[in-house]
Amino acid sequence: MATPLERWVDEQAKLTKPDKIYWCNGSLDEARKLIEIGIREERINGQPVFQELNQKAWPNAYLHRSHPTDVARTEHLTYVCYPDRLTAGPNNNWMAPEEAKAMMRKLSDGCMTGRTMYVLPYMMGHPDSPYAKACIQLTDTSYVAVSMRIMTRMSKTIIKRIGNSDDFVRGLHSIGDLDPEKRFIMHFPLENFVWSVGSGYGGNALLGKKCISLRMASWLGLQEGWLAEHMVILGIQSPDGEVTYVTAAMPSACGKTNLAMMESALPGYKIWTLGDDIAWLNVGPDGRLWAINPEAGFFGVAPGTSMKTNPNMMRTLKKDGFCPTIFTNTALNGDTNEPWWEGSDGARPKNLIDWQGKPWDRASDTKAAHPNSRFTVSIYNTPTLSEEADNPKGVPISAMIFGGKRTKLIPLVCESFDWPNGVFAAARMGSETTAAAAHRVGVLRRDPMAMLPFCGYSMGDYFGHWLKIGKRMTKPPKIFSVNWFRQDDSGNFMWPGFGDNIRVLEWIIKMVKGSAKGRRTPIGIVPNLEELNLTGLNIGKETMCKLFEVNPEGWKHELGEVKTFLRQFADKMPEEIWQQYKDLEKQLSEKQLS
């Protein structure tokens, strides 16, 4: 008798009609074989899927060039499909499940003809973790199969574990004909199913990532009482040897990965990495919040990554960890066959090939690497990997940090008064947009908890869920907002960022431990300047004061925008958040009068 899994694979094969079906076992040998297939046999857009890079300088590294229209997440073509639109909320595109399936069936009929269907059994989270989820993805490209091998814990043992059960998260993916008009990423949370056609780009095609670990998992978390968040997880070891675990939520391409692997500018501090993008958070029996990283790799933005900005990532990328590393849409040094991107170490190579494989034209003002070019690399290559990274229980979180790119208004760091006040601070977060999704870059967009593109249901309910989780904890993490990106009137960054951000993390740890008090403002508690270790920094007192200034006029304007944004969640918006809003409004006008 066929198992539910075998029956499901069979049904999808009947629809998509691949020439071959190959069940992956997740071994490294297999990953290398898939790379070979991508180099020698498989073609996308007439091009080989992989190209070998200089193995001496970049062990196990390969270059992939995607279709030029397929370079970022396509939020406008991403849908969640519940029977009713209200569940999806204004933060999601919505389609009725039957309508979505009828459309997807048409697009998928025979879409794998001439191709191989790879069956990928993988786990999000360590297989021994009570919080982990068993998943199966079907795909018709070696690029996705190898990337998933890097990003998740893939193994044939998952098939055994699923056995006769139908409790597994299903993902069906095909690159289709890569026509941007026929590119859809459809989520069916009530059926544990994601269906993606027409894109090979990471967030659209590596379904374990945004689709399952965030959109689907956030819905599961709502049902089961936990949180799936767009957050890094790190341990901060202080000079006394104690490690404090924190999470940080920031929109795409705002420096999360740099933070997760930071090299401290203050002696005696060390950062231990647990994850750079996603955290699943559960209330433990001890009343604390525990975090696991469901992923096992990094899908990071290449431009700007260098020995200066993120030395530990450069070491990760160059390590011979046996697992393949993939560079997607970076440029190539035509003389040395090494990947290259804007903001990498060393001078611009003379013979530079751009991300589309054409000689880069020095006279043009184009970038040689795509601004959203990426690397896909195993987390086990990381020199700063925490020894708790595989702990099935996860790590207990003492502080949660929220940040975005804000050139004005938002202080360098600010602690919320309590959990509901922190939920309000995270709910009103905004950030200037980046190249990680296909939209205009540099525009301020509200992005609550950095989850706007990833929350799989109405954010009104999501805020309510956060408040509820808060009530279940006896020792909740403290909540902080940060902003590394404040600029002065001439457009210069006021804070050095990168390794110097440890100075902010140090203050956060002091607040957690009660050894700093801070100063109360209407928006939260900011540091007294003497509580910050600024040794060796060349920043004047005036600039430091500016970094913590609360400008009532600016905040009034901000609150007006926040109100418009939050109002769209209508009846689903928790009253408690509006109460927080009113309290802040009142305190700001009192400050203005005083």
Q: What angle do CA 472, 475, 478 make, to 5 degrees?
A: 105
Closest CA to 480 of 501, 496, 457: 501
Minimal distance, residue 476 CB to ligand OXD, in Å: 26
Alpha-carbon span 499 to 533, nearest angstrom: 13
Nearer to ligand OXD, 291 or 436 (CB): 436
Minimal distance, residue 228 CB to ligand OXD, in Å: 14
**Phi/psi of residue 330, nearest 5 degrees:** -80, 170
Which of 60, 137, 252, 416 binds Mn ion (CB under 5 A)? It is 252
Using the rule CB under 6 A, is 370 a contact of ligand OXD? no
Residue 461 touches which of ligand OXD, Mn ion, none (CB < 5 to 8 A by kind)?
Answer: none
Minimal distance, residue 210 CB to Mn ion, in Å: 7
Nearer to ligand OXD, 369 or 508 (CB): 369
Residue 405 gets the label, from left (phi > 0), alpha (psi -120 to 50) or beta, of beta
Nearer to ligand OXD, 288 or 405 (CB): 405
Nearer to ligand OXD, 189 or 203 (CB): 203
Alpha-carbon span 194 to 187, nearest angstrom: 5
Alpha-carbon span 489 to 492, nearest angstrom: 7
Nearer to ligand OXD, 73 or 446 (CB): 73
Alpha-carbon span 594 to 284, nearest angstrom: 44
553's tokens: 């006029």
Sign of CA dihedral 31, 37, 40, 45: negative
Using the rule CB under 6 A, is 203 a contact of ligand OXD? yes
Q: Which amino acid is at 208?
A: G
User: Hey, which residues between 416 and 445 contact Mn ion (CB under 5 A)?
Assistant: none
Minimal distance, residue 453 CB to ligand OXD, in Å: 8
213's tokens: 């670990």
Residues 6+ apart with CB under 8 A from 405: 251, 254, 431, 432, 434, 483, 485
User: Hey, which residues between 48 and 77 contact ligand OXD (CB under 6 A)?
Assistant: 73
Using the rule CB under 6 A, is 299 a contact of ligand OXD? yes
Residue 545: active-site member: no
Residue 202 touches which of ligand OXD, Mn ion, none (CB < 5 to 8 A by kind)?
Answer: ligand OXD
Which of 70, 277, 388, 447 binds Mn ion (CB under 5 A)? It is 277
Using the rule CB under 6 A, is 202 a contact of ligand OXD? yes
R_g of the chain, CA atoms, integer Å = 24
Which of 129, 199, 252, 416 binds ligand OXD (CB under 6 A)? It is 252
- Binding piece for Mn ion, criterion CB under 5 A, among 189-197, 271-279, 512-520, 521-529: 271-279
- Binding piece for Mn ion, criterion CB under 5 A, among 250-258, 334-342, 486-494, 542-550: 250-258
Using the rule CB under 6 A, is 277 a contact of ligand OXD? yes
69 within 8 A of 178, measured Cβ to Cβ: yes
Using the rule CB under 6 A, is 402 a contact of ligand OXD? no
34's tokens: 């898939």
Nearer to ligand OXD, 162 or 377 (CB): 377
Q: Which amino acid is at 227?
A: L
Beta strands in 143-257 (DSSP E): 153-154, 169-174, 184-188, 193-197, 227-229, 231-237, 243-249
Provide the edge-to-edge strand list for the sheet that holds 270-275: 270-275, 231-237, 243-249, 399-403, 478-482, 413-415, 524-526, 519-521
Using the rule CB under 6 A, is 354 a contact of ligand OXD? no
Nearer to ligand OXD, 151 or 162 (CB): 151
Minimal distance, residue 374 CB to ligand OXD, in Å: 7
Please tell me which residue in 24, 81, 254, 414 is annotated as part of the active site. Answer: 254
- Binding piece for Mn ion, criterion CB under 5 A, among 24-32, 139-147, 251-259, 532-540: 251-259
- Catalytic residue ranges: 254
Interacting residues with ligand OXD (CB under 6 A): 73, 202-203, 252, 277, 299, 436
Interacting residues with Mn ion (CB under 5 A): 252, 277
